[in-house]
């Protein structure tokens, strides 16, 4: 059995899971509703407060799908009950972020500002505290969409290894390289 796939998913209070025709899983909770199409080679069993998944064979693809769909459904359950948050810091002189509704405006040292329209499923908040790095806080119930948007924002100015300037995730460690002056010694 797959180590991930064989683990049961605990269904917290206030979360409802239903499986409709064609293996379409719908998860409803206090924060919203998510849907995921599950491969027909995976069978879902819903008991009172747990969800278990079984595969039909031991083929390589079936084993891979078993763990994948277990993780996707677990993230859906966690998302509709608690939600997900991603915090990014803007490190660099003059790097700023501001939002107006779903529009995120970034000033990252280019000759122009970058304006990004975010999906409606994501809430955005920007903070600017004197003496600290500006930050972008993204919240959503969909972990996959949140990760894609956070990666897109980070791609506008990745952290560089010499001074560490750029957009980084909160708590991320950047390995710094020695500059030219250290090479000549």
For the stretch 89-144, pLDDT in tens is 999 888 999 999 999 999 999 999 999 999 999 999 999 888 888 999 999 999 99
Among 137, 144, 147, 141, CA closest to 104: 137
Question: Does pTM surpass 0.95?
Answer: no
Does residue 184 have a pLDDT over 60? no
All structural domains of the chain: 9-81 (3.90.930.12), 84-169 (3.90.930.12)
In angstroms, rounded to a whole number, what is the distance separating the alpha carbons of residues 98 and 45?
46
Among 152, 151, 148, 174, CA closest to 92: 174
């Amino acid at each position: 059995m797959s180590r991930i796939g064989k683990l049961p998913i605990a269904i917290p209070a206030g979360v409802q899971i239903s499986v409709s025709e064609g293996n379409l899983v719908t998860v409803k909770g206090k924060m919203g509703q998510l849907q995921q199409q599950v491969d027909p080679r995976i069978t879902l069993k819903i008991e009172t407060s747990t969800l278990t998944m079984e595969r039909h064979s031991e083929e390589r693809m079936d084993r891979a799908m078993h763990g994948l769909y277990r993780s996707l459904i677990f993230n859906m359950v966690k998302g509709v009950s608690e939600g997900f948050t991603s915090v990014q810091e803007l490190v660099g002189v003059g790097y700023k972020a501001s939002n107006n509704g779903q529009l995120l405006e970034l000033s990252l040292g280019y000759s122009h500002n970058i304006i990004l329209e975010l999906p409606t499923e994501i809430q955005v908040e920007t903070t600017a505290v004197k003496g600290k790095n500006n930050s972008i806080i993204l919240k959503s119930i969909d972990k996959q969409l949140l990760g894609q948007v956070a990666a897109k924002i980070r791609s506008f100015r990745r952290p560089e290894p010499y001074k560490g300037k750029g957009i980084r995730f909160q708590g991320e460690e950047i390995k710094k390289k020695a500059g030219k002056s250290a090479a000549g010694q």
